Structure 1
Amino acid sequence: MSTFTIFLALIVVVAFLLIVVIMVQNPKGGGLSSSFGGGGTQQLGGVKKTTDFLDKSTWTLATLLLALILLSNVAINRGGENLDSKALDVDATTTQSLPTIPSDTANDAAEPIETPQE
């Protein structure tokens, strides 16, 4: 298993967790944070602590996802190929000729298409 594959698996897991955490939140205060600790009870730390936890976990997962994406670029196997630009190489300049049409197909294309008359 390559390093890039490990990074890819971690990115998928973190992205899934980030989606779950975002979907649990409700901007109007009626989501999971209001069901825990509602009515004055202190279940799981209350509404304020649940909202703080969801907010902090969102930022943490988003930062982790960005870091994993940037680090996965380093882990890509480039196969040892030279990544220098060919446009700047003076010796690598080549000229391309335009494709030529064979003479027998050129005459066929020039003939009008006959349509049946009614």
Structure 2
Amino acid sequence: MLNLLDVLKGLSDATRLRIVNLLYEKELCVCDIMETLQISQAKASRHLIYLKNAGLVKDRKQAQWAYYSMYKDDRLQFIDSLVYDNLRNLEPYKKDMENLNKWLRNKDVQCD
């Protein structure tokens, strides 16, 4: 059940907003978020669990890795505007997107 108050609380932290911005791009592993935002695994995981409990993200396990993606629900469409019309035009969110793209390019090269 989606609780709007929980959703808004989930969005009320700068680190969680930065994570939401990244997850709007694609599904990401915890390590991708850690590297992009330069935060610890514990901090990334704590914020991802908060977002999951708020009904904003979902996770899946693959071997030892946890992957997170945005939970899509028509009632959460206001977040589309938040991300695309607002966050993506502001620092540090623009820089986070640059860092994510750089990280993913380097990660792909290393995995080839």
Task: Report the TM-score range of the alignment, normalised by the length of the smaller protein.
Answer: under 0.3
**Relative contact order higher in (CA < 8 Å, ≥ 6 apart):** 2
| Larger helix percent | 2
Q: Higher Cα Rg: structure 1 or 2?
A: 1
Q: TM-score, normalised by structure 2?
A: 0.27
Q: TM-score, normalised by structure 1?
A: 0.26
